Amino acid sequence: MTPDSTMGPPAGAAGPALAETARAKINLHLHVTGRRADGYHLLDSLVVFAEAADTVTLAPAEGLSLTIGGPEGGVLAAEPDNLVLRAARLLAEVAGRPLPGAALHLEKRLPVASGIGGGSADAAAALRALDRFWGLGIGVAGLEALALRLGADVPVCLASRPARMAGVGELLSAAPRLPGFGLVLANPRVSLPTPPIFAARTGPFSPPAVLPEAWTDAAAMASALRELRNDLEPPAILLCPAVAEVLAALRALPGALLARMSGSGATCFALFAEAEAAARAAEALPPAWWRWGGAVRAA
């Protein structure tokens, strides 16, 4: 069993339930370094995972099904094809043999289409859970190619640990050794689909960042990250001016070392020396926003 997995209490007569955590993905920097012939963009990003998370659970059942709950689940209820079910069907297809059914449940706490990869994390959590449930034994490394077919961010969400991401998201390598630090996440409650943000990006491509092997403390990490950027921030602000407001509010929080947008937005983050300070700071943000403060998952 991986440290990310728990066996839950028996789910009625059906048998034991199984749960996987789907953590929010944060791009500490995001350089767009080029563009492939198929239109996908080449990226360089240092990715970390916050303790803010959705949960995917499953219990034995007839066929494959999905129920959705949680404070952010409402908008997904109307969608015909959730990434959790797409992940389940894809894994069943490559397994290529009859498999037991599973009743999946998604507890959605991360805002949808918000740049923190909630859907990607859910898909990765479903792959991990079903790999175990079906006894396929593929494991996180073996699931990577399959994960990429579900989305550029899904491979990095499989291990859900700090990583350097390149290519379109499929080239994963070790992150620098990171110090302990805290994060505040804030979203102005505007959902921002990814394709138009990439399409609105203009100007020259950025070189990949040069990162050290380790940062000894959060202040050193923040000062290095200040030299880098999220290249999708300008197009996101153009299409969603509220992103600039969120960044200004995060920068004004006492103790904030750095504020930046994650992914294609609209969620932005502020980096803090301590998780407790981040948790307190989040409370000061407008209650109308989605906000969260706390710890980052260690390596």
Ligand X SMILES: C[C@](O)(CO)[C@H](O)COP(=O)(O)OP(=O)(O)OC[C@H]1O[C@@H](n2ccc(N)nc2=O)[C@H](O)[C@@H]1O
Task: List the one residue from 59, 72, 106, 151 that touches ligand X (CB under 6 A).
Answer: 151
User: Which of 18/76 has CB closer to ligand ATP?
Assistant: 76
Instruction: Give the one residue of 118, 169, 182, 293 binding ligand X; rule: CB under 6 A.
Output: 169
Contacted entry of ligand X, ligand ATP, none for residue 41, CB cut-off 5 to 8 Å set by kind? ligand X
Q: How far is the CB of 234 from ligand X (least distance, A)?
A: 14
Among 114, 160, 187, 230, binds ligand ATP (CB under 6 A): 114
Q: Is 235 in the site for ligand X (CB under 6 A)?
A: no
Q: Which residue has the CB atom at the shortest distance from ligand ATP? A: 119
The torsion angles phi and psi of 3, rounded to 5 degrees, stand at -60, -15
Report the nearest approach of ligand X to the CB of residue 152 (Å).
4
- The CA-atom distances, in angstroms, between 279 and each of 184, 283, 296 are 7, 7, 12
191: contact with ligand X by CB under 6 A: no
- The site partner of 195 among ligand ATP, ligand X, none (C-beta below 5 to 8 Å per kind) is ligand X
The token duo for 204 is 């020259």
Number of residues that bind ligand X (CB under 6 A): 19
207 annotated as belonging to a binding site for a ligand: no
Residue in 4, 54, 131, 153 annotated catalytic: 153
25 is catalytic: yes
The one catalytic residue in 25, 44, 54, 231 is 25
Residue 198 sits in the site that holds ligand X (CB under 6 A)? yes
Q: How far is the CB of 260 from ligand X (least distance, A)?
A: 13
In the list 31, 91, 117, 138, the residue contacting ligand ATP (rule: CB under 6 A) is: 117
Residue 31 burial (CB count, 10 A):
22
Closest to 113 (Cα-Cα) out of 190, 178, 19, 216: 190
* Tokens representing residue 49 in the block: 């995972």
Cα–Cα distance for residue pair 268/93, rounded to 1 Å: 37
Would you call 108 a catalytic residue per the annotation?
A: no
Q: How many CB atoms lie within 10 A of CB 124?
A: 32
Instruction: Find the binder of ligand X among 21, 120, 160, 187 (CB under 6 A).
Output: 120
- C-alpha closest to that of 43 among 54, 27, 60, 62: 27
Binding mask 132-161 for ligand ATP (x = CB under 6 A): ---------------------x--------
- Which segments are annotated as binding site? 111-121
Name the residues that contact ligand ATP, by CB under 6 A. Answer: 76, 79, 82-84, 106, 112-120, 122, 153, 193-194, 263-264
- List residues forming the annotated binding site for ATP: 111-121
- Interface ranges with ligand X (CB under 6 A): 27, 30, 40-41, 43, 45, 115, 117, 120, 151-153, 168-169, 194-195, 198, 263-264
